[in-house]
């Protein structure tokens, strides 16, 4: 009878389950947890979009991503944001300071080759140096554009840029020496006006030319084919004043488009822009655009 009474008492007892907020002592060493706030339903609140209600742990900051431009080596890179106006102004100042020095050197060389008759005669009788400077120009240009460590490391980048500028200045002076002085001065004046106007347009316009890389590539290919056709015409028919003017006008127009594209990459605020380390690349591209516009304008202002 005692056994039956004990079994009935044990069967009648129901275990009491601990509530959500009751303190339960685990079998393992106790760990102090931060209290979790509960809502009306007795459950911890959910965060928007899933996840935990706690803040992100320290030491896991987000990585800033900047978008590189159309120069070689551009793309996405981890680093500080380039949207800081002071940093961008410093970059633009550095690019245009280097550009002004390049144009100054080229202007001096062109002036000597244009106004000095003795230099003209020497250049015309020693064209081998023109082809040597052309080879140096191609090699140094490829080294600067293809080697990121060269164009971003001082003073190696400035040494290569100086050699590049001297070689291309000699080439430009040789080309200008075959035109009369009046034509060279007219080309300089028109080139200055065009470049200033294009730079202002590139900064002020809402059209993003950096998104038109495909169209600019097509224009370049068409211009190359047109140049080959003109070369064949020169070889078969001979020199033509009209063809010279058409070829020069088309070439100046094409490189004016290039100047807009490169200016927007340097100034920034577009989809594609140059990174802070690419000031040598930016100055070199702008320099080539300006000088090529001058070269293609020479036939328009010269009578020979």
Burial of 7 (0-12, 13-18, 19+ CB in 10 A): exposed
Radius of gyration of the chain (CA): 35
Give domain status of residue 187, yes or no: yes
Give domain status of residue 122, yes or no: yes
SS (H, E, C) 124-181: HHCCHHHHHHHHHHHHHHHHHHHCHHHHHCCCHHHHHHHHHHHHHHHHHHHHHCCCCH
Contact by Cβ (8 Å): 176, 123: no
- Tell me which residue range forms the domain holding 184: 76-301
Give domain status of residue 10, yes or no: no
Please state, in angstroms and rounded to a whole number, the distance separating the CA atoms of residues 191 and 252.
9
Q: Which residues 6+ apart lie within 8 Å of 171 measured at CB?
A: 130, 133, 134, 137
Give domain status of residue 51, yes or no: no
Please state, in angstroms and rounded to a whole number, the distance separating the CA atoms of residues 278 and 51.
41
Give domain status of residue 284, yes or no: yes
Give domain status of residue 53, yes or no: no
Give domain status of residue 282, yes or no: yes
Give domain status of residue 14, yes or no: no
Domains in the chain: how many in total?
Answer: 1
Q: What is the pLDDT along the chain (304 residues), one digit of tens a residue?
A: 666 666 666 655 555 555 545 554 555 455 555 555 555 555 555 544 444 444 444 443 433 333 333 343 343 343 344 566 777 778 788 888 888 999 999 999 999 998 888 888 888 888 889 999 999 999 998 988 888 877 777 888 888 889 999 999 999 999 988 888 888 888 888 888 988 998 888 888 887 787 888 888 898 899 999 889 888 888 888 777 788 888 888 888 989 989 988 888 888 777 777 777 777 888 888 999 999 999 998 888 665 5
């Amino acid at each position: 009878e005692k056994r039956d009474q004990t079994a009935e008492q044990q069967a009648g007892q129901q275990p009491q389950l601990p509530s959500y907020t009751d303190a339960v002592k685990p079998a393992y060493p106790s760990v102090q947890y931060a209290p979790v706030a509960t809502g009306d339903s007795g459950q911890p609140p959910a965060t928007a979009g899933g996840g935990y209600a706690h803040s992100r742990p320290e030491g896991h900051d987000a990585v800033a991503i900047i978008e590189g431009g159309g120069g070689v080596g551009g793309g996405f890179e981890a680093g500080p944001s380039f949207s800081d106006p002071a940093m961008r102004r410093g970059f633009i100042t550095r690019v245009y300071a280097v550009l002004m020095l390049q144009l100054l050197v080229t202007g001096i060389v062109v002036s000597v080759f244009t106004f000095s008759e003795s230099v003209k005669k020497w250049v015309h009788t020693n064209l081998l140096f023109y082809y040597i400077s052309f080879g140096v120009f191609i090699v140094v240009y490829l080294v600067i554009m293809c080697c990121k460590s060269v164009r971003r490391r001082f003073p190696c980048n400035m040494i290569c840029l100086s050699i590049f500028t001297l070689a291309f200045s000699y080439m430009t002076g040789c080309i200008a020496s075959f035109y009369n002085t009046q034509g060279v001065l007219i080309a300089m004046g028109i080139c200055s006006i065009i470049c200033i106007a294009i730079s202002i347009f590139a900064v002020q316009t809402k059209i993003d030319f950096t998104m038109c890389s495909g169209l600019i590539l097509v224009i370049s290919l068409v211009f190359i084919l047109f140049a080959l056709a003109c070369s064949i015409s020169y070889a078969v028919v001979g020199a033509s004043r009209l063809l010279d003017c058409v070829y020069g006008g088309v070439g100046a127009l094409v490189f004016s488009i290039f100047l807009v594209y490169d200016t927007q990459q340097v100034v920034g605020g577009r989809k594609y822009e140059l990174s802070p380390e690419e000031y040598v690349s930016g100055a070199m591209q702008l320099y080539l655009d300006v000088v090529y516009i001058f070269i293609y304008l020479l036939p328009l202002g010269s009578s020979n």
